[in-house]
Amino acid sequence: MTIPNLQLDTLRAAYRAGTHSPRQLILQLREKAAALNPEYHLFIHLLSEAELEPYLAALENRRLDDLPLYGIPFALKDNIDLAGIPTTAACPAFAFTPQRSATIVEQLIGLGAIPLGKTNLDQFATGLNGTRSPYGACINSVLKDYPSGGSSAGSPLAVALGVASFALGTDTAGSGRVPAALNNLVGLKATKGLISTAGVLPACRTLDCVTTFTATCSEASQLLALTGGLDPRDEYSRANPLWNDASAFGSVRPFHFGVPTQLEFFGCAEGPALFADAVARLQALGGQPVPFDLAPFLEVARLLYEGPWVAERYSVVGELIETQPAAVLPVIRDVLAKAPGVTGVQTFRAQYRLQVLKAQCDQILAGLDCMLTPTIGRPVTLAELTEEPVLRNSELGYYTNFMNLLDYAAVAVPTGFMANGLPWGVTLFGRAFTDQYLLSVASALHGGEQAPSTAARNDKARLVVCGAHLDGLALNWQLKRRGARLLETTQSSADYRLYALAGGPPLRPGMLRVAEGGVAIEVEVWELPSSELGSFLTGIPAPLGLGKVQLADGRWESGFICEPYGLDGAEDISHLGGWRAWLASR
């Protein structure tokens, strides 16, 4: 039986049509994975038929429509617990067998997904290349002279080589993004704490994220919607705001995106043109590029390994290094060598510096919808990694190391191929809890997927104003004080009447939608943080409120509306076309 395309929707359709069953497919995939493993070293532990049986048997009395991930095969990085299967972190001397699975794994299994095996990684998730493992180096799925990328090296291979629909990795410094770029996949590094890390062996407990590798952005969106949220088992977990739920994934509207003024490609001749092409494609989607200074982001990146956070890694593996140094790979010991000498004073000074830099970076991002960088400056070969393992690994993390220290969300997305056929891609990143919006932009950039009918949403709310809140008028300060910015001056659809309400000061308008006799009214569209919308709404006096207003181009946005009872004694000023014109006529 031919193995079908393993993308979520395609595989669901195959199950629904009856052309495949989970049992048949999973056993086929296990056989295929076993055949690939000697060459690619993608699995540390491939589940046996006996170990798979409980998961297969659990589906036999369940219906496809009852389980969103019914029969979906997935793989997980071997620093993520699967009950009854050893967790090694690519260090046999450290291995232990957990009695309970990680929360994310429990969630996926509960939704019907089937774990195929534990994947290879850079030991203790310390590395970005995938060669730092006693279980063998993970080679690239496209070109065998290159690495898969790490530390989550085996997980993207499971997806790229067609043995899993999706795979779990972790990301502290870029491990969910670098291997995605090198294997032509989407790598979602969601907001810290959004996907639980309970049952995940820490690299840096305060920074770690569970990541997903998928073929498409819509699959990453679906998985995030199914698994993201507060977990009582994880003290670092965070609730997902409603503006970042599944409905936030949609079609992109005009947006502003940051582009670094200084770029480093480490001598790669093709990188500049590939990146310029990605910028041009975003512009074609309605994006407005805005140059920004990458320097503070890069300084944050240097803190990760040059600062005290290396001691956080040592807190996990230090005892093993001290008692059994030979059990830890020399390159890992070298990376962590300075950790015991890190002092409390150094730690606090680094935290203070990080806070200064985060304020600078947040200010740069404040007026933008997202930022764009290459995912890696240039790919490195296996030979180059052998010759200079630390330097080449550092180059791979040039655009990724700062992300978790700054508490940003990020998605790596393929955008092309190099002349030798190796995949190439970019990373879109933004404020915490803008994951679904970033996936929306990435999906449009990636192409090949039908755009959702709804508009993508981020952490900003759009608001249509028609009177005293217009730019420069009496109540506009209420918007600006909440961090709002003016997006556009436009008109409503020709379905409204505008009135000057009785009373004041301040003078207030009432805009009423009517069945006939309506005109277009001058309005402004503002954008403010969603977290500020509630306080703004509660301050609006009757008879005004917020509802949905139709604009001239047919869009519906939240905006000021008026209850009909408030029109007693009001003056109809519709013929003037807007509030400013009425003020000027008085």
Query: In this predicted structure, what is the pLDDT of residue 4?
Result: 86
pLDDT at 448 (0 to 100): 81
Average pLDDT over residues 534-560: 95
Q: Whole-angstrom Cα distance, residue 486 to residue 424?
A: 36
Q: Report pLDDT for 452.
A: 85
Give the Cα separation of 353 and 396 in Å (integer). Answer: 24
The whole-number average pLDDT for the span 288-300 is 97
Q: Could you tell me if residue 308 is left (phi over 0), alpha (psi between -120 and 50 degrees) or otherwise beta? A: alpha
Residue 110 CB partners (closer than 8 Å, separation 6+) = none
The span from the CA of 139 to the CA of 153, in Å, is 8
Residue 58 burial (10 A CB sphere; 0-12, 13-18, 19+): middle
148 is catalytic: no
Q: Among the listed ranges 152-166, 310-324, 431-445, which one has the minimum average pLDDT value?
A: 310-324
Please give the pLDDT value at position 57.
96
Q: What's the pLDDT tens digit per position in 276-290?
A: 999 999 999 999 999
Neighbour count for residue 161 (Cβ, 10 Å): 18
CB 400 within 8 A of CB 346: no
> How much of the chain exceeds pLDDT 90, in percent?
96
- Cβ(186)–Cβ(219) below 8 Å: yes
Question: Which residues are registered as beta bridge partners of 171?
Answer: 209
Rounded mean pLDDT of 378-401? 96
User: Residue 338 CA to chain centroid, in angstroms?
Assistant: 32
- 33 in Cβ contact with 46 (< 8 Å): yes
| Residue pair 417/428 in contact by the 8 Å Cβ criterion | no
Residue tagged active-site, from 77, 118, 192, 460: 77
pLDDT surpasses 90 at 449: no
pLDDT band with cut points at 50, 70 and 90 for residue 275: very high
Beta bridge partners of 291: 259
* Mean pLDDT computed over every residue of the chain: 96
Report d(CA 268, CA 146) in Å as an integer. 15
151 is catalytic: yes
**For a pLDDT cut of 70, what percent of the chain falls above it?**
100
Q: How confident is the model at residue 367 (pLDDT cuts 50, 70, 90)?
A: confident
> What is the predicted pLDDT for the residue at 451?
80
Catalytic choice (101, 151, 221, 492): 151
Determine the Cα–Cα distance for residues 195 and 234; give it in Å rounded to an integer: 10
The residue from 141, 175, 196, 218 that is catalytic is: 175
pLDDT at site 35:
98
pTM of this prediction?
A: 0.94
Q: Tokens for 1? A: 């039986």
The two three-digit tokens of residue 330, written as one number: 């020399």
| Residue 307 DSSP label | S
Mean pLDDT, residues 172-181: 97
- The encoded tokens of residue 148 equal 């898969």
Rg (the chain; Cα; Å): 27
Q: Is 144 labeled as catalytic in the residue annotation? A: no
Strand partners, 118: 45, 76
For the stretch 16-68, pLDDT in tens is 999 999 999 999 999 999 999 999 999 999 999 999 999 999 999 899 999 99
| Residue 541 pLDDT > 80 | yes
d(CA 479, CA 482): 5
Total residues belonging to the chain: 586
Q: What is the pLDDT of residue 164?
A: 98
pLDDT class for 104, splitting at 50, 70, 90? very high
542 exposure class (CB count in 10 Å sphere: 0-12, 13-18, 19+)? exposed
- The pLDDT, as a whole number, for residue 506 is 85
Instruction: Say if CB 422 and CB 490 are below 8 A apart.
Output: no
Band of pLDDT at residue 527, cut at 50, 70 and 90: very high
Does residue 1 surpass a pLDDT of 80?
no
- For residue 288, the cross-strand partners are 256
Task: Give the end-to-end CA distance of the chain in Å, rounded to a whole number.
Answer: 80
- Mean pLDDT, range 142-150, rounded to an integer: 97
Q: Are 496 and 536 in contact (CB under 8 A)?
A: no
Look at residues 115, 121, 114 and name the one whose alpha carbon lies nearest to residue 88.
121
Peptide bond into 505 cis (omega under 30): yes
